[in-house]
Amino acid sequence: DGIPCAANPFLLTDGVRGEWGFDGIVVSDYEAVDQVRRMHFLSADKAGAAALSLAAGFWLGQVAHPAAHELIHRADRRLFRLGIAVYGVLAMGHHASSHRLVHHVLVATPDDPATARSGQGFWRFLLKAEGEGFRKGLAAETALRTRRAKGLHPFLTYAGITLLAAAVALALGGWPGVAVWALLCLHTKLQIHLSDYVQHYGLLRRRLPDGRLEPVGPRHSWNGGQWLSGQMMLNAPRHSDHHAHPLRPYPALRLPGVEDAPRLPLPLPLACTLALIPPLWRRVMRPHVARWRQFDEGVTGTNAAGVASVGNTMSEPS
């Protein structure tokens, strides 16, 4: 709440605060009221506040998340810790572990929590991605510590950052502030899992004759070539090159040719929006997945080489 009034010391202090006990924001003229609205993102009503919160959530998911993702892949420990801090504030600290230690190792296999089967709807995928991603990330970090146990367990660091963020929200806005922060975290989490779902949907690595999985290649990620979404998301849609070179800075990421790697039929943000409606998503993506699988098998000579596909374990009726 706020009270616009003239620039009079009595009104600003003695009357409003002393007599009325008002403890909100007091501004002295209507221009200042407009500046508070524009510069500090205050809203005049609940509908405006909801719209601002939604916009903030999109900014966190489409801008802050790609920036944090870039940072956790940097060799500079200061930048790496900054990325962890961003994810921790968003209650997604475990993503810094599960993404690097699980997803990049198991991508395009049934064991990867962040790879969706062909025909699998997003909402079913979401439960697995969040729960199994947390569990496997924790197991991977714990296994690392058995070989080089130093300092605090990363998951304790993640929890500490998240609790600190919740405490700041409580101090600034009370329990309503905590509720808004939690909703922003959920909105961001949804967008992170949507990106994973879309960027590897239905793409498979094959098992070689010796039983090992084929190396990760350009064929195991969906890419986007649109300039605007690429700039906004720090070239995250150039996903094949990111998996091939995880430490490569985002300005240097390359877009594979259409004959070398799958292309999404829509810009990544629009594809993520479409994925919220599973029947429509499957209808749009079914021919693209089928076309790429046929092309992929023709290029790799799957049948002639006797290479076994893991596709049967990663697809369901669509």
Residues 93 and 29 placed together within one structural domain of the fold: no
Residues 26 and 53 placed together within one structural domain of the fold: no
Domain count, the chain: 2
Residue 310 pLDDT greater than 50, yes or no: no
Residues 203 and 289 placed together within one structural domain of the fold: yes
Domain membership of residue 73 (yes or no) is: yes
pLDDT at 312: 36
pLDDT at 41: 62
Mind listing the pLDDT tens digit for each residue in 70-88?
A: 999 999 999 999 999 999 9
pLDDT at 298: 57
pLDDT at 7: 57
Domain membership of residue 108 (yes or no) is: yes
Name the residue type at position 131: G
Residues 119 and 165 placed together within one structural domain of the fold: yes
- Could you tell me the two tokens for 161? 């950052």
Residues 154 and 79 placed together within one structural domain of the fold: yes
Paired with 223 in beta bridges are: 263
Residues 111 and 255 placed together within one structural domain of the fold: yes
Mind listing the pLDDT tens digit for each residue in 210-253?
A: 989 999 999 999 999 999 999 989 999 999 999 999 999 999 99
Residues 32 and 62 placed together within one structural domain of the fold: no
pLDDT at 311: 41
Residues 213 and 242 placed together within one structural domain of the fold: yes
Q: How far apart (Å, rounded) are the C-alpha atoms in residues 115 and 131?
A: 14
Domain membership of residue 217 (yes or no) is: yes
Mind listing the pLDDT tens digit for each residue in 113-135?
A: 999 999 999 999 999 999 999 99
pLDDT at 12: 63
Confidence band (pLDDT; 50, 70, 90) for 103? very high
Q: Which domain holds residue 157?
A: 46-313
More confident residue, 155 or 297: 155
Domain membership of residue 197 (yes or no) is: yes
pLDDT at 33: 59
Residue among 96, 41, 161, 188 nearest 169 (CA)? 161
Q: What percent of the chain has pLDDT over 70?
A: 81
pTM summary value: 0.81
Domain membership of residue 170 (yes or no) is: yes
Segment 164-190 mean pLDDT: 96
The gap between the terminal CA atoms of the chain, to the nearest Å, is 51
Q: Where are the alpha helices (DSSP H) in the chain?
A: 9, 30-39, 46-59, 65-72, 77-89, 95-97, 104-106, 122-147, 154-200, 227-232, 239-244, 268-275, 278-300, 302-305
Residues 74 and 191 placed together within one structural domain of the fold: yes
Domain membership of residue 50 (yes or no) is: yes
Residues 63 and 33 placed together within one structural domain of the fold: no
Q: Where are the alpha helices (DSSP H) in 60-153?
A: 65-72, 77-89, 95-97, 104-106, 122-147
Q: How far apart (Å, rounded) are the C-alpha atoms in residues 237 and 214?
A: 23
User: Tokens 């975290």 identify what position?
Assistant: 185
**Weakest mean pLDDT among 2-6, 170-174, 213-217:** 2-6
- Could you tell me the two tokens for 98? 């599960």
What is the distance of C-alpha 47 from the center of its chain? 26
Residues 103 and 27 placed together within one structural domain of the fold: no
Confidence band (pLDDT; 50, 70, 90) for 51? confident
Q: How far apart (Å, rounded) are the C-alpha atoms in residues 158 and 169?
A: 17
Q: Where are the alpha helices (DSSP H) in 201-226?
A: none
- Are the C-beta atoms of residues 84 and 96 closer than 8 Å to each other? yes
Q: How far apart (Å, rounded) are the C-alpha atoms in residues 238 and 226?
A: 10
Domain membership of residue 152 (yes or no) is: yes
User: Tokens 């089967």 identify what position?
Assistant: 117
Residues 184 and 203 placed together within one structural domain of the fold: yes
Q: Which long-range contacts (CB under 8 A, 24 or more apart) does 138-146 make?
A: 138/94, 138/97, 140/97, 140/98, 140/101, 140/102, 141/97, 141/101, 144/101
Domain membership of residue 318 (yes or no) is: no
Name the pairing type of β-strands 2-4 and 25-27. Answer: parallel
Confidence band (pLDDT; 50, 70, 90) for 305? very low
